[in-house]
Amino acid sequence: MKLASYIITRLRRHPKRWAAFGVLFIIWLFCLPSVLFSDPTSTVVETPQGDLIGARIASDGQWRFPAQDSIPYKFEQSILQFEDAYFYKHPGFNPVSMVKAFWGNLTTDSRRGGSTLTQQVILLSRKNKKRSYGEKLIELVQATRLEVKFSKEEILNFYSSHAPFGGNVVGLETASWRYFGLPSYQLSWGQTAALAVLPNAPSLIFPGRNEILLKNKRDGLLFKLFSEGIIDETTYELSILEPLPNKPKPLPELASHFTELIKQKHKGERIISTLDYNLQTRVNELVAAHYNGLKENQIHNIAVLVLDVETQTVLSYIGNSPASAEDQNYVDIVQSARSTGSILKPFLYANMLDSGRLLPDMLVADIPTSINGYNPSNFDNGFRGAVPASEALSRSLNIPAVRMLEDYGLEPFYNNLKKSGLTSINKPANHYGLSLILGGAESSLWEITNAYASMASVLNFYTKSSSEYRNDAYSQATYTAEESTNTSEISMHPGVFSAASIYHTFAALQQVNRPFGQENWNHFNNAQPIAWKTGTSYGFKDAWAVGVTPKYAIGIWVGNADGEGRPGLTGIQAAAPILFDILNALPNHLWFDPPFDELQEARLCTTSGYQAGPYCDQTKLEYVIETGLRTTACPYHERIFLDNTKQFRVNTSCADVSDLVSQNWFSLPPFWAHYYATKHPEYKPLPPFLTSCDYKELRPMEFIFPTRNEHIILGKDFDGNTSEVVFKVAHQNPDAQIFWYLDNTFVGDTKEFHELAILPAAGPYVLTAMDQDGNELKRRIRIQ
């Protein structure tokens, strides 16, 4: 203080000196650039635990990781003992070291540096300009300013982040991964010492060359650390035995497409991702194993996405299989729009439940269908007549799905898909038509898996809260630790699907037949339940499998990036085995809790799945969605009266009231029954009336083929002969005889099996079918 007062007093007596001092002070105050280092940095992706997922080189061709928050203790001690033992004591320069260096440079041929670590930071920031005493003076002045502006720890961090470590490796953390494949805080004393001596002469001491010189410097540093009591004798002896680093190692590449995704949005940053290192490693192994089998069938590309349902974060991300560039392994298929196949059917099922048009096991039609010229078919090209809606979903039947979409409405369903986050479906609803439900649209694995995960998240939140919904439930999953799901207000109304409809949908999807080897999963205590769905696009080009548990959502896509179809490229054969291998690698979790606040107990008809009517013999009590109570009572059970033999129906016109035997009977429309009976041998059609009875029956027969206003094109066989057309009718009376007419011209009759093959000329016709009781059907057709 006395010295400072003395200087100020002297300067006041000499104003010119005071002015000069002020100028010098201002120069010193602003001598540092506002940004010390502006070099581009590498993009680095890590797990929350610090494991390196992947990295991308900086734009200037250097491997330069972004600066760490701190440096490891071992490196701090090593670099101080090797470069600047008085670092924490000097003001930015060390006069003693500078004098020794100056004298040595004058009296010897060797060149000795006297720079402190602070001065070396300035040297690095000035891009190693040509050495001169003038440059040295600038470094000295800026070093003192650096010491005032930053703490010692910050200066040390500058050095460790920007020091050269040989070749294009810059910074301690980069060198640690490149030379040892480890983060810097996991390095041993021997490894740390080897890195600490490298910046001193990176062009001379390069791993793989000059190993004796490198070893001598490293061992010398280790001995100094031992002499100073920083390490013990055992550590010293073991450290000098450690091998030296060899050529730079390749950096980890656990999720190459994920790293590229991060680079696009966070170039040059260190990003803490949400990926689970162990799961990502295991999924990589599983994908590689399945790829080796699939490539034998010329199926080359696989994509996998695993999400945490509770946190809505990404746990594993495989953008493509370990294929070659020839097979387009560089394409990130997780983000690529592909034909959805049947993967959207669960969303329609949930919408139908919410709308009050459907109960979970209600019978729906599975019959030949033509809607405005669109003729959907099931995967097996068969028909079941009638099938429970839940079974139609679990078996992925196409015809019931198309008929339900027509019933629900294309536009409302399309709008709900958009609300669910399927933004890749971006053309007008009419562009897709009813084929939307069968793969007529394209979406990405990212969007599809997110939508399934959002449904699970909605159900979890509803049952664990006070029966509430989040407005942001259908937001996209996050994949960086800094991101978080947008907080939103709580609502009492569902955004897209109610918790009850989701619960019923997942219950149906839990019944989907698992792939070979997984069929009897529920017989094992450690088996994990999952609601899952497969999808296969037209032409066997895209195979999907997506599944959810209360904790995880797993999405799989298998196919060829170039769109080539392959036999066997189906969801159940190609994608499902990968899904279940990943499921088996995840911890078990209990199933979803029922959302009782949205469920009502109802008595249902066991056979039809409708609400029980007065004539349903077998009923059951089940919890159903509240809107399902709007549905009608079972329309397929009726009370009929039989004679004493129970072979014929009768009424009061042909039998005494005392002779009538009442019985409840399950009867489907003739068209449905025609196909239903082939799958259900227990089904019995209504008995015929006694011939002496007076009766009028509503539509005892229906056309199976042709449909309304059918345009029939007659093909030709290999000999060039025109093929016949086969007309079909279903009749409730197995003994009925049907007479067939084309424009009132009789063309034949049929008994038992009502199929008539004829070869009409081209043109428009009215086809008539009449039974022996005068019941008739008419259809307008056109033959081409």
The model's pLDDT over 458-483, given as tens digits with 9 standing for 90+, comes to 999 888 877 888 887 888 889 998 87
Least confident of 299-308, 343-352, 420-429, 686-695: 686-695
| Average pLDDT score over residue span 209-233 | 90
| Average pLDDT score over residue span 552-579 | 94
Higher confidence at residue 140 or residue 303? 303
Instruction: Give the pLDDT band of residue 434 (cuts 50, 70, 90).
Output: very high
Least confident of 93-107, 200-214, 698-712: 93-107
What does the mean pLDDT of the chain come to? 86
| Average pLDDT score over residue span 157-177 | 92
Q: Above 80 in pLDDT, residue 16?
A: no
Q: Above 60 in pLDDT, residue 485?
A: no
Q: Above 70 in pLDDT, residue 160?
A: yes
Res 30: pLDDT: 62
Residue 745: exposure state from Cβ atoms within 10 A (0-12, 13-18, ≥19): exposed
Instruction: Give the pLDDT band of residue 334 (cuts 50, 70, 90).
Output: very high
Least confident of 169-183, 209-223, 329-343: 209-223
Res 541: pLDDT: 94
Q: In whole angstroms, what is the distance from residue 195 CA to residue 577 CA?
A: 46
Write out the two tokens for 674: 């025609």
| Average pLDDT score over residue span 112-121 | 76
Residue 15: exposure state from Cβ atoms within 10 A (0-12, 13-18, ≥19): exposed
Higher confidence at residue 366 or residue 708? 366
Res 730: pLDDT: 82
Res 524: pLDDT: 47
Q: In whole angstroms, what is the distance from residue 249 CA to residue 207 CA?
A: 11
| Of the candidates 119, 69, 75, the residue with the CA atom closest to the CA atom of residue 97 | 119
How do residues 38-92 score in pLDDT, each as one tens digit?
A: 899 999 999 998 899 999 999 999 999 999 888 999 999 999 999 888 888 888 7
Q: Above 60 in pLDDT, residue 784?
A: yes
Res 514: pLDDT: 72
Q: In whole angstroms, what is the distance from residue 612 CA to residue 664 CA?
A: 13
Which strand ranges, in their side-by-side order, compose the sheet holding 52-56? 52-56, 43-46, 270-272
| Average pLDDT score over residue span 509-522 | 68
Q: In whole angstroms, what is the distance from residue 413 CA to residue 422 CA?
A: 12
Q: Above 70 in pLDDT, residue 405?
A: yes
Res 484: pLDDT: 60
Three-state SS for 291-338 is: HHHHHHHCCCEEEEEEEECCCCEEEEEECCCCCCHHHCCCCCHHHCEE
Q: Above 60 in pLDDT, residue 2?
A: no
Q: Above 70 in pLDDT, residue 19?
A: no
Res 696: pLDDT: 65
Q: Above 60 in pLDDT, residue 487?
A: no
Res 464: pLDDT: 84
| Average pLDDT score over residue span 327-342 | 93
What's the pTM?
0.84
Higher confidence at residue 14 or residue 71? 71
| Of the candidates 127, 112, 129, the residue with the CA atom closest to the CA atom of residue 201 | 112
Res 18: pLDDT: 56
